[in-house]
A and B are shown apart, each in its own frame.
Chain A
Amino acid sequence: MSDEVIKNIIVREDEDYIINMGPQHPSTHGVLRLEVCLNGETVNYLTPHIGYIHRSIEKMCESDTYKQIIHLSDRMDYLSSHMNNEAICLAVENALEVEVPLRVKYIRVALDELSRIASHHLWWSAFGMDLGALTAFFYGMRDREKILAIFEESFGSRLLHSFNTPGGLMHDVHPNFQKHIMEFVHYFRKKLPEYKQLLTDNVIFHNRTKGIGNMTRETAIAFGVTGPSGRGSGFSCDVRKTAPYGLYDEIKFNEILHDKGDSFARYLVRMEEMEESLNILEYVADNIPEGDFTAKMKPIVKLPEGEYFQRVETARGELSVYIVSDGKKFPYRIKFRSPNFSNLFVLNTLAKGGLIADLVAISGSLDLVIPDIDR
């Protein structure tokens, strides 16, 4: 453990004024319990208690084939289900040295970016709601619906679409896939100014988020805070840039970096990421080549003995998969490094000394998905 982490270890005193935020609380976005010690309205310290939605996904993976694991990985970060699938698929494909068709790579990138935008939509909606701007929720959901409609058309499901499979995709996308992506890009470019009017330019919103939850680059690195939350502190951690996978080394896009490190910087990173994702989508949807939707794979995938590792960028940060195989059809051990787990534990450092309202503004800006923390 680094010094940064050690000095944040806390000991609870008997006379502390404790309130439990959660497991049922509107702003923890799931079954997370924050044990908050207060002094009046000021947060002295807080301890996150996790495990309320632990489903032992990693252990279950040890008795499933690689194709079945895909369906379990959906259930971790349900808003980045496509990226979770992709992490396992890429790990297996690299292990077997399978070259997936170009069409698959393009479609995967398109789905990555669509999922990212949909996830940021939900974050934006929920963040607005955390700060009391209830109308934001419906604006975000309105636009997210368009993306979910694209998913539904191609895969039949809207949230957990388990569309990837080692070697490619389950089946080909709907013929209207490209057309609808382009329609969405044009639609959402028109709608983004509304987001700006409703929250980004609002004075109260600025007061609530600017200078709140300051996270330095060193803190971000020490706690392993990745994704937009880390990039808001100037920590260049976009796996799409640092360790490109799929098609990302061929596509031109910018890594969004802000160096203020407060809630507003994290907010801006996500807003600009949505625009950047639109650019990527525009390029990708225009250029999806014809071809097979999957490479030739054996019905039962067996990984050769050894250890395999793959990183992907989900909507919340870096997801890593570490597979140990003993040559059988099940993995010997599988370990996920989920972004939310690291992002959650920086919360005490950021929220300490602030007010309860700040705590909500900070945890909202970290964009936590609880099932991904517990797995």
Chain B
Amino acid sequence: MILDIYSFSTLTASINKELHAAMAPWLAVLTEFVLIGLLFLLFYAILGLFLVYLERKVCAVMQNRIGPNRVGKWGIFQTIADFIKLITKELIPIKNADDFLFNLAPFIVIITSFMVMAALPFAKGLQALDFNIGIFYIIAVSSLGVVGILIAGWSSNSKYSLIGAMRSGAQVVSYELSVGLSLLAIVVFSGSMQLSTIVESQANGWWIFKGHIPALIAFVIYLIASTAEINRGPFDLAEAESELTAGFHTEYSGIKFAFFFLAEYINMFIVAAIAATLFFGGWMPLHIDHWEAFNRVMDYIPSIIWFFGKTFFIIYLIMWFKWTFPRLRIDQLLNLEWKYLLPLSLLNIVLISFVVLMGWYF
């Protein structure tokens, strides 16, 4: 019943066909890989610039300010100007730093965020890799980013960086559990780890509505835990500005700093996109069972708009936290995870299994 006119699979299938007709199969596949890689790089850069701009505007709204308004109309070129400044800045060498690890760290951070992008279904038929273990892959890859942060803190030869990195390590390792368990809730509901199947399973309503209270609990836990996992305020202890100056990236300058900065924003997009996919139906339009006319109208809105609309709504929520709440302390942060969120998410899994067994969802 979903309209096929907006599906990207017709487009991608025809490109695939043309390429295979024109060149040897291995070359065609290689060309496709390169094309997709380039597309992702482009998307990554644009998204990074846009998210920084968005954050500055959202933060300005929260703080009774106007935000960037000098470079271009409404300051839309401000982040581009900032980016040019960052790439032309001097890379300051650090005395007694471990040069190899010091230079490697930003790449690890940015590559992991890049890898997660591959599994996200951006629209109907627009997904680079559709695993049968998509969610498992996302959880596994996104947890690699902390390695980069730890390396950055360790190799900087700075005490502030080291403390920041250790905090980040403790934080990410803890909150990974809650993130995993809350994602597992939806896996139990939909009975699959494949992202495309999960999206399809929400054709008659999103899980946040269909799953009753357990899905809502899982969503709230996911929102808190994932905000902590990407080191954003109020959980930005790894770079706690007022305590550790800039935490793990204190010693980085120029483009290397820009990599950390960019990765932070892309990670925010990724966690928002996962939340949108699992709880809000991803690219699936808002459907309500038995309301055929309503569903039909919703179908006319392209799936890519649905996906980005939901994602940016959740990004706005995450930004809202950051600009409203004070920062937690490290022991309170770990208490919140181990004493409250983790037992709650374990209970929630039991509750969900019960709900699914009894068939108490739509």
Interface residues of A (CB under 8 A from B): 17, 19, 25-27, 38, 41, 128-135, 137-139, 142, 198-199, 202, 204-205, 207-208, 355-360
Contact = CB atoms under 8 A, between A and B. Distances in A.
Interface in B310-362: 323-332
A350 to B, nearest CB: 16
A109 to B, nearest CB: 31
A276 to B, nearest CB: 25
Given A204-B328, A208-B326, A132 B233 contact: yes
B241 A26 contact: yes
Interface of B: 59, 62-65, 159-160, 163, 167, 233-234, 236-237, 240-245, 323-332
Nearest to B246: A26
A356 B163 CA distance: 10
B242 A131 contact: yes
11 contacts: A19-B163, A38-B163, A132-B236, A133-B325, A134-B323, A138-B64, A139-B63, A202-B325, A207-B328, A208-B328, A360-B242
A133 B159 contact: no
Contact of B63 (A132, A135, A358): A135
Contacts of A27: 242-243
B240 A357 contact: yes
Contact of B329 (A26, A128, A129, A358): A358
Nearest to A131: B326
A255 to B, nearest CB: 29
A285 to B, nearest CB: 26
A207 B325 contact: no
B323 A207 contact: no
B245 A41 contact: no
Given A19-B159, A19-B160, A132 B64 contact: no
Contact of A132 (B167, B242, B245): B242
A2 to B, nearest CB: 32
Nearest to B159: A19
Nearest to B158: A19
B327 A131 contact: yes
Contacts of B245: 25-26
Contacts of B163: 19, 38, 41, 356
Contacts of A128: 326
Nearest to A27: B242
CB-CB nearest 6 A-B residue pairs: A132-B327, A138-B63, A131-B326, A133-B326, A27-B242, A357-B329
Contacts of B62: 135
A272 to B, nearest CB: 20
Given A41-B330, A132-B327, A135-B63, A26 B242 contact: yes
Interface centre among B59, B233, B329 (most CB of A within 10 A): B329
A207 B331 CA distance: 11
B243 A356 contact: yes
B243 A357 contact: yes
A205 B329 contact: no
